[in-house]
Amino acid sequence: MTERHEGGSKNRALRELLSLLNPVHVLGDTSISPGSPCTDSRKLRQGDIFVALKGSRTDGHKFIGEAVRKGASVIVYDNEKALKEQLAMFEGTAKDALPVLVRVEDTAKILPLLTAAYYQHPSSSLKLIGITGTNGKTTTSILIQSILSEAGFSVGRIGTLGYCWGSNHIEAHLTTPDPCALHGILQQMYKDGVNIAVMEVSSHALHQHRVAGCLYDVAVFTNLSQDHLDYHRTMEEYFRSKLRLFTEYLKANGIAVVNIDDQWGRKILEHLESKGRNEKIVTYGIESYDAEISAEDVCYSPDGLEFRIKSSLSTDHDEINYKVSSGLLGKLNVYNILSAVAATLAFNVPLESVLKGIEKVRSVDGRLQRIATPNGFSVIVDYAHTPDAMEKALSCVREWTKGRLIVVFGCGGDRDRTKRPLMAQVASKFADLIVITSDNPRTEAPERIIEDIIAGMPVTWQKFSADESHFSAPKSKSYTIEVDRRQAIHIAINVARPGDTVFIGGKGHETYQIIGQEKIPFDDRLVVKEYLDRCCHLTSADIRFHKCKE
């Protein structure tokens, strides 16, 4: 399926859509019924409304000419000069052969409202749960979906792992879709009988007004730690974007679910309390004695975890205390489970469905995902791509690793450079050996990204050569560099012995690698499996010394 949807307001005249938008100026016949709003001239189809947005790389106004040539029926713009430049090439064309021209104050602000109106405000026909925070959004959304499905709701999910409802699955290009896609998807969900949509709401989306036009019944905050400072500049700015989910997009009588073990979570709480608003606030945490939902007697094992939920939310105000068991691993997932429990209990889901729904999630694609090996060592593929995620994921893997912890990771290009050395510092805190490699270099030189990572490696760590490692095991606390991620994974497997764990971080569920502008098929899990298959005729000891034939 694609992100584009038919079936918007097919019979709705442009005039009706414009009545909601307060345009500065309109030129042309507004009785037409246009196609769907579109911000990308490359994807535009005949009859669509082209909305020109100023971006970080270029300005959509530069593509108005292309949109006209492709048959846009309406052009929405906010820069008169840029419009005139583009229309100059159509001089002499009959006026009625040109699209309707609609000038607005700010196209970015108008876009979500226009799109919501075009798709007949589908978000108001659904219950919406929004999840924000640096880490844990995807996992929490999967848990909430499972719980709500168990309780009999028909649930749609929008996030990093795709946009899914019923048997529909749309691959996610963005964690939170842009408004043109979002309202089309919500409308389709509604038509297909979905009653609740669970959405990851990224900080970029909040900053870019992508979810304007949506009002959430429940808003969840997982945590905040360093990421995306290339975009938000400071942690305060990053936080302010996240806060908007609670201050701008939560219904007046909605439910705010907040992790108060997190210092930024406490700030959200203070903020909401100081405004004296009407929303219900539900707090969760493991360390904070005043959290309304917390965990007791947590037992961790390499196969999952068990704990008792402690909650003061029950309607008769007696404390409830129930046992949860989950196939998910580590303390980070205790937090994710607590956030899902808090959101659904506050939403009045019966406790039985909550417990069953949690149990049913045996694993989450690419998050602490274990790959079976016949060689006595473990391989874990994980999506940690921030220092904090790395810290939380590695501390849990370290716990159950009897032998050495071998970490393979890189950092994404065209993303926050300052997190790169921090991720190296964290990795070196837990790992015995590190193979530094590429993640998605995008348009950056992979070697430059690796230099940024190495700047965070402790001076006491020594470099080992991957070739030598086939003859003698590298010394503990040493690292090697291999730009090619496939080779890097092979190196880690080659040096692993029984009892060791190979942790491959950063790409998790991703089935591609972005190098330059190209998206090349690549899946950490398949690379591991293929290599193990090729090597499986060897014993685990052999693998250390005999590199498989490439």
Ligand X SMILES: CC(=O)N[C@H]1[C@@H](OP(=O)(O)OP(=O)(O)OC[C@H]2O[C@@H](n3ccc(=O)[nH]c3=O)[C@H](O)[C@@H]2O)O[C@H](CO)[C@@H](O)[C@@H]1O[C@H](C)C(=O)N[C@@H](C)C(=O)N[C@H](CCC(=O)O)C(=O)O
Q: Using CB under 6 A as the criterion, which residues of the chain lie in contact with ligand ATP when the complex forms? A: 133, 135-139, 160, 175, 200, 222-223, 332, 335-336, 367, 382-384, 388-389, 392-393, 508
132 carries a ligand binding annotation: no
Per-residue binding string, ligand X, 189-208, x by CB under 6 A, is -------------x-xx---
Kindly give the interhelix angle for 179-191 and 107-118, rounded to the nearest 10 degrees: 20
Which listed option, ligand X, ligand API, ligand ATP, none, makes contact with residue 39 (CB within 5 to 8 Å by class)? ligand X
Give the residue with the Cβ less far from Mg ion, 200 or 388: 200
Which listed option, ligand API, ligand X, Mg ion, none, makes contact with residue 507 (CB within 5 to 8 Å by class)? ligand API
Alpha carbon distance 212, 284 (integer Å): 27
Number of residues that bind ligand X (CB under 6 A): 19
132-140, 212-220, 358-366, 503-511 -> range binding ligand API (CB under 6 A): 503-511
Residue with tokens 């950056």: 444
Alpha carbon distance 442, 530 (integer Å): 25
Alpha carbon distance 409, 382 (integer Å): 10
139 carries a ligand binding annotation: yes
Which listed option, Mg ion, ligand X, ligand API, none, makes contact with residue 439 (CB within 5 to 8 Å by class)? ligand API
Are residues 265 and 292 in contact, defined by beta-carbon separation less than 8 angstroms?
A: no
Alpha carbon distance 111, 91 (integer Å): 28
Number of residues that bind ligand API (CB under 6 A): 9
Is residue 385 near ligand API by the rule CB under 6 A?
Answer: yes
398 carries a ligand binding annotation: no
Give the residue with the Cβ less far from ligand X, 205 or 349: 205
CA 308 to chain centre: 29
Burial of 468 (0-12, 13-18, 19+ CB in 10 A): exposed
437 carries a ligand binding annotation: no
DSSP H/E element including 281:
strand 280-284
Among 412, 448, 444, smallest CA distance to 227 is for 412
Two structure tokens written together for 20 = 């909601």
Q: Give exposure, 247-279, as e/b (b: 16+ Cβ within 10 Å).
A: eebbeeebbbbbbbbbebbbbbbeebeeeebeb
Two structure tokens written together for 113 = 């409202």
- Shortest reach from residue 227's CB to ligand API, in Å: 7
Among 49, 114, 170, 174, which residue sits at the site for ligand X (rule: CB under 6 A)?
Answer: 174
Report the residue closest to ligand ATP, judged by CB.
136
Alpha carbon distance 485, 470 (integer Å): 18
Q: Is the dihedral of CA 186, 188, 193, 194 positive or negative?
A: negative
Give the residue with the Cβ less far from ligand API, 78 or 510: 510
- Shortest reach from residue 131's CB to Mg ion, in Å: 9
Alpha carbon distance 247, 270 (integer Å): 12
Per-residue binding string, Mg ion, 147-166, x by CB under 5 A, is -------------x------
137 carries a ligand binding annotation: yes
Is residue 175 near ligand X by the rule CB under 6 A?
Answer: yes
Give the residue with the Cβ less far from ligand X, 126 or 180: 180
Residues in the chain: 550
Please state the residue numbers annotated as binding site for meso-2,6-diaminopimelate.
Answer: 415, 439-442, 506, 510
Please state the residue numbers annotated as binding site.
Answer: 41, 133-139, 175-176, 202, 208, 210, 415, 439-442, 506, 510
* Contacts with ligand API, residue ranges (CB under 6 A): 175, 385, 412, 415, 439-440, 506-507, 510
